[in-house]
Amino acid sequence: MSRTDKTKPLWIRHAEHGPRPVHDHRYGPCDLPPHPTRRPAETRCRWEDPGMILSGSTCCAGCHRRGCVKEWQDYAKAGNRRTRYAGRREARRYVTGELTD
């Protein structure tokens, strides 16, 4: 996350992260506001709690448990390896004359 994302107000970050609606239709029809607002709306239906952003549980934060971190590291290593091997293959083809600019 860039420095500018960190300094955005919470309600803007909440709106940008695609919050999910929370519906409560027990006492009437849906009165969900069209988009998240700066202050909590006085409605039955509402948007999910913006505190998810503060606790680090957003789509950008990811999972920070040991298993998730290990899985991500393996995924990144495999991606780097594929890129490295593709570069070597291309360099070999260029040197042997199979590939020209």
Average pLDDT for 60-65: 58
Residue with structure tokens 């780097």? 80
Overall pTM > 0.75: no
Average pLDDT for 34-50: 76
55 with 77, same domain: the answer is no
51 with 31, same domain: the answer is yes
1 with 45, same domain: the answer is yes
Better-predicted residue by pLDDT, 84 or 72: 84
User: What pLDDT score does 83 carry?
Assistant: 95
Burial track 67-94 (b if 16+ CB lie within 10 A, e otherwise): eeeeeeeeeeeeeeeeeeeeeeeeeeee
Number of structural domains in the chain: 2
Is residue 47 helix, strand or coil? strand
36 with 81, same domain: the answer is no
22 with 69, same domain: the answer is no
Whether the per-residue pLDDT at 56 is higher than 70: the answer is no
55 with 72, same domain: the answer is no
**Which residues span the domain enclosing 92?**
63-101
> 46 with 22: CB under 8 angstroms?
yes
27 with 68, same domain: the answer is no
Better-predicted residue by pLDDT, 24 or 10: 24
